[in-house]
Structure 1
Amino acid sequence: MPYSPLLVKPFRDELTSIGFVELLTADDVDRTMKEAATGMTLVAFNSVQGSAAGVARPGVRLALEGGSKRPDRLLTVFDEQDLEATQQMRSYFPDIPPSHPSFALFKDGELVYFVPRHRIEGRNAQILATDLEAAFNEFGQ
Structure 2
Amino acid sequence: MPYSPLLVKPLKKELTSVGFKELLTADEVDAAMAEAATGVTLIAINSITGVAANVARPGVRIALESDGKHPDRLFTVFDEQDLEATAQMRGYFPDIPPSHPSFALFKDGELVYFIPRHRIEGRDAQQVAAALTDAFEEHCQ
Which amino acid letter does the alignment assign opposite residue 77 of structure 2?
Answer: V
1:97 and 1:67 map into 2 onto residues whose CA distance is 32
Which amino acid letter does the alignment assign opposite residue 49 of structure 1?
Answer: T
- Once the two structures are superposed, the pairs formed by residues 25-40 of structure 1 within 5 Å of their partners are 25-40=25-40
Contact 1:67 1:133 in 2 (8 A): no
Q: Which residue of 1 aligns with 2:103?
A: 103
- Once the two structures are superposed, the pairs formed by residues 13-52 of structure 1 within 5 Å of their partners are 13-52=13-52
1:34 and 1:6 map into 2 onto residues whose CA distance is 30
TM-superposed CA distance for 1:30, in Å, is 0.3
Task: Kindly provide the CA deviation profile for residues 84-124 of structure 1, in whole angstroms up to 9, marking residues without a partner as x.
Answer: 00000000110000000000000001000000000111110
SS at match of 1:24: coil
1:35 and 1:95 map into 2 onto residues whose CA distance is 22
TM-superposed CA distance for 1:17, in Å, is 0.3
Normalised by the length of structure 1, the TM-score is 0.99
2:12 and 2:57 map into 1 onto residues whose CA distance is 10
- Once the two structures are superposed, the pairs formed by residues 1-141 of structure 1 within 5 Å of their partners are 1-141=1-141
TM-superposed CA distance for 1:36, in Å, is 1.1
User: 5+ residue gaps in structure 1?
Assistant: none
C-alpha RMSD of matched pairs (Å): 0.5
- Which consecutive segments of 4 or more residues in structure 1 shift more than 3 A? none
SS at match of 1:29: helix
TM-superposed CA distance for 1:67, in Å, is 3.8
Question: After the TM superposition, which of the residue ranges 62-71 and 129-138 deviates more from structure 2?
Answer: 62-71
SS at match of 2:14: helix
TM-superposed CA distance for 1:32, in Å, is 1.0
1:133 and 1:37 map into 2 onto residues whose CA distance is 21
Determine what percentage of the aligned residue pairs are the same residue. Answer: 75
Aligned length, in residue pairs: 141
TM-superposed CA distance for 1:46, in Å, is 0.2
1:62 and 1:24 map into 2 onto residues whose CA distance is 25
TM-superposed CA distance for 1:76, in Å, is 0.0
